[in-house]
Amino acid sequence: MRIAVITTFVALTAWSACGFTAQAADGPNFTRTEDVIYGRKHGVALTLDVFQPQKDANGSALIFVVSGGWFSSHANINAGFVQEFLNRGYTVFAVVHGSQPKFTIPEVLEDMHRATRFIRSKAGDFKFDPAKVGIFGASAGGHLSLMQGTAGDLGNKEAKDPVDRQSSRVQAVACFFPPTDFLNYGREGEIALGRGVLKNFRAPFDFHELDKSINAFVPITNEEKLLEIGKQISPVNHVTPDDPPTLIIHGDADKLVPIQQAELIIAKLKAANVPTELVTKPGAAHGWAGLDKDLLLLADWFDKHLKK
């Protein structure tokens, strides 16, 4: 069961089942720079791929969060998934984060902050406005997109590394079927920290802390600590009035990530007067045939909020 569910998540990340292709009708209309190093952790490089339109760049950038079940891999970057955005002139950065089962969600969030800062620091090199950066993804990629939208920060102006002085905030978010509240998952009080509906995804929630007395990482077992981490990694708890415009597309028959998750954060964003929209797909589960056509809605959303 665990393998089957993770495969579903990964397939949604790669979008291979949707029949995407990596070329426009008359051939590629973009250039791709692979394995750009945006950071390092534990001696390992963190990388992203850069897709640039060959002409008519619009001066805005999009971050594509390559993540399904918080599993991330360079092999799961499908150029066809970003084609519509390239057609409209966006420069797209496909970010591969530290993947489960090795890394947990709090560690993944650090990677996404780093990637966003790095991308903004390269605005001059890739010729886009650093004040016009959007982010998108699906499922876990949607969760990480919302976390960047609600919990991005302005950077540390005193940091030794100039990249860390950059903001990790984004100016628009669009995503598919994202988890948003791990402590109220599907219904109030339902905890999904690798439990319940997400019991087959224990690794991303396998939180550890350093025990200095033995110089080793040990599991966090204290329920209060676990719930606090769960609160911090839930984007619904970070909503503020200065959050970016946010679009969510979600199927109302989704069993893995209930549409209630989208409804919770949409309500919070609306209460904070943040421009937001929920597009409900009747009868759709966690992914659906023809999902590629809904990429047009994401592109329209970015056009509306980044091309001002």
Q: Is the pLDDT of residue 196 over 60?
A: yes
Segment 249-276 mean pLDDT: 98
pLDDT-based confidence at residue 80 (cuts at 50, 70, 90): confident
| Cα angle 257-258-263, degrees, rounded to a multiple of 5 | 115
Is the peptide bond preceding residue 162 cis, with omega within 30 degrees of 0? no
Residues whose CB falls within 8 Å of the CB of residue 284, separated by 6 or more in sequence, listed in order: 251, 252, 253, 254
State residue 27's pLDDT score. Answer: 63
Residue 306 has pLDDT above 90, yes or no: yes
User: What pLDDT shows up at residue 26?
Assistant: 56
Spatial separation of the C-alpha atoms in residues 192 and 177, rounded to whole Å = 16
Residues 4 and 190: their CA atoms lie apart, in Å, by: 23
Q: What is the DSSP letter of 285?
A: B
Which range marks the domain in which residue 260 is found? Answer: 2-306
Does the structure show a pLDDT above 80 at 11? no
Residue 8: per-residue pLDDT? 41
- Among 18-27, 44-53, 87-96, 166-175, the least confident range: 18-27
Identity of the residue numbered 224: E
Name the average pLDDT for the chain. 91
Name the pLDDT band for 25 (thresholds 50, 70, 90).
Answer: very low
- Span 127-186, pLDDT tens digits: 999 999 999 999 999 999 999 999 999 999 999 999 999 999 999 999 999 999 999 999
**Distance from C-alpha of 197 to C-alpha of 129, rounded to nearest angstrom:** 41
Check which CATH number belongs to the domain holding 13 and give it: 3.40.50.1820
What pLDDT, on the 0 to 100 scale, is given for residue 272?
98
Mean pLDDT of 79-97: 95
Q: For the chain, what is the domain count?
A: 1
Q: Which tops the pLDDT comparison, 261 or 14?
A: 261
Instruction: Tell me: pLDDT of 4 over 80.
Output: no
* 294, two tokens: 């809904």
Report d(CA 193, CA 206) in Å as an integer. 9
In degrees to the nearest 10, what's the CA dihedral of 167, 168, 171, 176?
180
Structure tokens at 125: 């090199």
Model confidence at 19: pLDDT above 60: no
